[in-house]
Structure 1
């Protein structure tokens, strides 16, 4: 009996330590990145296209694993049609015509891959680069904060009917389909008049839509762009985006759980880019304040900047903040990891530091590691008020200077990295990174 009790106690100790390790940042008793993600997509030969997708898809259509599909120009799924994609299917965005796929409002996509057989959207070039093709747009009729609720995409798309690029409405439960175990690689084409496309744009997408286990890698635009809507996101991965990893705007109501952003100072574009860019609007006069403004609830995120020499990269201006929060935006993050940024968070200078605003912007049980400063107001180098507020023990935040090798389980593994926290490696530290001026 005594021996059984000792074994039970040992099990509880090990289980408890494992749970503690899983507490902050991405969670899972196994590395859920395996085996469906790909961190070297430029090394993969996906084969040559055997089928072409172009123009409008106006009747229910299924894409099969046995074929490789080419998105030729702007492809639209319209007329309440469902596009079903079999697990393991490869869809290539054409470089010359900058192929893209738009699921119009009222239509659906069912791209339900598996962890061993993901669906892949990628470049067909032999030398793949960010921006080789357009991206994927999913449009629904969930609310935005625009006057009249409805809006239209503005990326220079050429639909046969203007309604095919409209989104927004009153349907919180809007269902646009399923995207699960999907990779989107080398998207984000640049247009002369409309800027960059994004890897995956969700515009007016509602709660019944299933979005999970999606990896966007090497995107020239934002990896994930959420415009309005009311959507839950889980197990998303953004890898080495040139622009923002996750952008929220136009009154988006969003829960994002157990997700990852991996930035590189050597892959970012010329403009300031972040892991999270949370805005309520582009122009305040365009927002209807009788409606809900952007509200982001984040939990168990890992936001990490991978640098060969972090102090030097910060000094020469290659590293930005991890999170930017705009005026009139509500944002909370819990049980998360923010590692290697300059600083961790910046709040828009239009946000007044008072109890009302601080109740809308919450940082709790979060691990700030290797950041040159934590939370600041834009253009203000004195953050004493914010440090005192978010440093209060009630919020249970942790500040550290741990090196990546000791912070994450296996960050250096080029094929199968593991970005979960190491067991018992969290320790408190009050110092910022060295200032090597």
Structure 2
């Protein structure tokens, strides 16, 4: 008979082995996508609105689950007011008026949903499509790298109310937790698309967890400067970038998921992650921190049924793009089904100093046509030698999605964690 200590050791060994195998990509002992996410939002009837949200909110205000709200035009929360949204509340963005919710600098949003009762922002059209309404804009007073440490967002909004940036790294813009944002990113005439969720100058006391963006016509998550943490983010079938970091963002993102579709893209660029420090050098103060992103346990996957064919036809591009003067540290993550996995700006000189700022460690590169390249250069031998070094513990495989993930095809309850035992491929 085995001793109790032997049995305990065996149980612990099994538990730790399972955790070790699942530690790449999104992770958890349970599937944290259950209950609060929705991968077929166009099939849901949220009911007719009975309350109107319009104009300016200048005093503390609470929205209740018992009501259905129609968001009309640009709604600004101002005067340091707090907008509180009860779990389970539905806010419906109006198509005709390009609805958008703007939390101005100094104001706060408390949208603290529950796993079994998420808060939902969606479209009012009978046939819902990406870009039906604007999106959510949250403006804070944490540092950015632009000159004077301030800027403003446009999208046709009142620029006197859309400034962001400051000196308060520890500022608090509120809570977004268990929130879904669907069919946002409307194109503004003469301007760019809204982004589903724009976080500009957000401080690190803000709580941002369990947020799902589905079918955005603009970027799903756009982050301008600030110092913030993102946990359990989901971007599903965005037309543009899933995550864009810019203007000196200091961000840690953990345990998050991107699902891209080959046939849902934009001519302006569609990447899982876009990391840059500026659009134009002349607008930047280089004495300030430039963009730095630390990403851990992410899963980036193309859901194509025939990845090879889609790559051949040019429908699939790179998963990640990194521009000059930005730092990116990517660990224990999965990139599956892209062409290539990573693309570096041609302005980045390939030397040890720069590559120390762009790290890929304990990665799982799967079914990608090439791993890491420099823009406009098909010869990536130096990069392959660098990141293929055994000290980085990167793994390479050629498995289809059904073999790679626990439950890839179930639209109701998908599970995008790696299958047990999948990380057995050689790192040669």
Aligned to 1:361: 358
Structure 1 distance, partners of 2:380, 2:427, is 14
Aligned to 2:59: 59
Aligned to 1:435: none
Aligned to 1:434: none
Matching residue within 219, 223, 226 for 1:226: 223
Structure 2 distance, partners of 1:390, 1:343, is 14
Aligned to 1:419: 416
Aligned to 1:85: 85
Structure 1 distance, partners of 2:405, 2:367, is 13
Q: Secondary structure at the match of 1:371?
A: coil
Question: Is 1:349 aligned to 2:367, yes or no?
Answer: no
Question: Is 1:319 aligned to 2:316, yes or no?
Answer: yes
Structure 1 distance, partners of 2:14, 2:161, is 54
Task: Compare 404-413 and 83-92 and name the one that shifted more.
Answer: 404-413
CA contact (8 A) 1:77 1:102 kept: yes
Matching residue within 186, 189, 202 for 1:189: 186
Give the drift of 1:96: 0.4
Aligned to 2:337: 340
Aligned to 1:303: 300
Q: TM-score, normalised by structure 1?
A: 0.96
Matching residue within 263, 269, 272 for 1:272: 269
Structure 2 distance, partners of 1:47, 1:429, is 52
Aligned to 1:214: 211
Structure 1 distance, partners of 2:180, 2:382, is 42
Q: TM-score, normalised by structure 2?
A: 0.98
Structure 2 distance, partners of 1:98, 1:19, is 45
Aligned to 2:389: 392
CA contact (8 A) 1:279 1:329 kept: yes
Structure 2 distance, partners of 1:259, 1:344, is 17
Structure 2 distance, partners of 1:81, 1:336, is 39
CA deviation digits over 1:64-103, x for unaligned, max 9? 0000111100000000000000000000000100100000
Moved over 2 A (4+): 3-10, 269-272, 427-431
Give the drift of 1:284: 1.1
Mapping 1:12-411, distance limit 5 Å? 12-157=12-157, 159=158, 162-411=159-408
Give the drift of 1:325: 0.1
CA contact (8 A) 1:109 1:177 kept: yes
Q: Secondary structure at the match of 1:356?
A: helix
Structure 2 distance, partners of 1:257, 1:104, is 26
CA deviation digits over 1:173-224, x for unaligned, max 9? 1110000000000000011222110110000001000101000000000000
Aligned length: 428
CA contact (8 A) 1:272 1:320 kept: no
Unmatched 5+ stretches in structure 1 = 432-437
Q: Secondary structure at the match of 1:312?
A: helix
Structure 2 distance, partners of 1:42, 1:3, is 56
Structure 2 distance, partners of 1:250, 1:10, is 50
Q: Secondary structure at the match of 2:169?
A: coil
CA RMSD of aligned residues (A): 1.2
CA deviation digits over 1:236-260, x for unaligned, max 9? 0000000000000011110000001
Q: Secondary structure at the match of 2:147?
A: coil
